[in-house]
Amino acid sequence: MDKLNLPFIKFKEDWLIQLVPPFGGADVRFIAKKGNNEVSVYFDSKNRLGFMDAPYWEAYPLQGDAETARFFKDEIEGLIDFIEDSLNKDNK
């Protein structure tokens, strides 16, 4: 398997992270959880699952009607901000 050279990610202190085996063409998957909210994230290095023209992350909340968001490989700050906003929505 080729090395993906993924950037390091500093997760927020109050998140739980569950690694999930990749499927459907994703290279890496994880779920971030805080309270009752969860966000599923995958990395697609070869554009097998989406419509980006370069390696990207896709994140989508697992509750409600929230939108999916995509970020290029090195846009970690945007990815973390999206996850944080999604995890904090109506979370008690």
Residue in 24, 57, 54 with CA at minimum distance from that of residue 41? 57
Using 50, 70 and 90 to split pLDDT, how confident is the model at 90? confident
Average pLDDT over residues 47-62: 89
Average pLDDT over residues 43-48: 90
Residue 5 lies in a domain: no
CB-CB contact of 57 with 71 (8 Å)? yes
Residue 8 lies in a domain: no
Amino acid at position 32, single letter: A
Q: How many domains does one find in the chain? A: 1
Residue 3 lies in a domain: no
Residue 63 lies in a domain: yes
Q: What's the rounded Cα separation, in Å, for the pair 3 and 16? A: 26
- pLDDT at residue 65 tops 80: no
Using 50, 70 and 90 to split pLDDT, how confident is the model at 47? confident
Which domain, by its residues, includes 29? 16-88
Residue 36 lies in a domain: yes
Residue, of 2 and 20, whose pLDDT is higher: 20
Residue 32 lies in a domain: yes
Residue 4 lies in a domain: no
Residue 6 lies in a domain: no
